[in-house]
Amino acid sequence: MTPPAALYLIPVTLAEDGAPEAVLPVPVLERVRGIRDFVVENAKSARRFLSACGHPGPIASLGFAVLDEHTRDADVAALLAPLREGRPLALLSEAGAPAVADPGAKLVAAAHEEGLRVAPLTGPSSILLALMACGLEGQRFRFAGYLPVAHPARAAAIRELESRSAAAQETQVFIETPYRNDALLADLLKTCREDTRLAVAADLTGASESIRTASVAQWRARPAPPGKRPAIFLLLAPKAPGRR
């Protein structure tokens, strides 16, 4: 059944070996199967995801428009054309929740500017799953996105995150491209205080899922690099001296 016209924000499986029915509620899967127009980061992986969702297709007949890091801001509003014509439109990220650390946020903003309905659907978010599972401060947290790649700038960013965490007792959450995970972990262990607590959640919802929270001193004694897997990093520094 075709759903009402809206921009539907559809979370995607986090792990390559993850089955949609394992992480998406039945009503969300049914909604996905009724939509024929999609805005995606990568059409090939989107087709694979929709096939796994049991979309009646045929997949080749569905409409796919690409919104990625190379899309010009001036071209984003045009992607809403199906919605303006009264058809439901879905936004898919490459993994997890769309529009969170994702170029799809520009499409959501454009929809709001035109007064079009935006409908977020339930599904996995690696950021929230990691925060749930790490045992760090869950009431005060900040997502910092990607840290700088160059070493001096990254070390400075890590020190800033640790200082902010200590001052506000706020969990700092950040990510990295999988092939740079181990280098980031090495810089964290080199830069952070021994008593700062560090969590690494890798391949969430996947067969090789791993979640570890320990002090930096414990990480140094027993390193466990996540390797080239999707990972979330979280840290919580001890309370700054003199603060209640």
Calpha distance 170→134 (Å, rounded): 13
HEC string of 141-184? EEEEEECCCCHHHHHHHHHHHHHHHHHHCCEEEEECCHHHHHHH
Phi/psi at 199 (5° precision) = -125, 140
Instruction: Grade residue 57 by pLDDT with cuts at 50, 70 and 90.
Output: confident
CA distance 148 to 166: 21
d(CA 173, CA 176): 11
Domains recognised in the chain with CATH numbers: 7-120 (3.40.1010.10), 126-236 (3.30.950.10)
Question: Are residues 119 and 5 in contact, defined by beta-carbon separation less than 8 angstroms?
Answer: no
The whole model's pTM is what? 0.90
Q: What is the pLDDT of residues 11-45, one digit of tens each?
A: 999 988 889 999 999 999 999 999 999 999 999 99
206 touches 18 (CB < 8 A): yes
CB atoms under 10 Å from CB of 144, counted, come to 14
pLDDT at 72: 94
Q: Is the pLDDT of residue 123 over 80?
A: yes
Distance CA 81, CA 220 (A): 53
Contact 129, 205 (CB under 8 A): yes
**pLDDT-based confidence at residue 244 (cuts at 50, 70, 90):** low
Return the closest-CA partner of residue 118 out of 129, 126, 109, 131: 109
Average pLDDT along the chain? 94
- List pLDDT tens digits, range 152-197: 999 999 999 999 999 999 999 999 999 999 999 999 999 999 999 9
d(CA 103, CA 192): 31
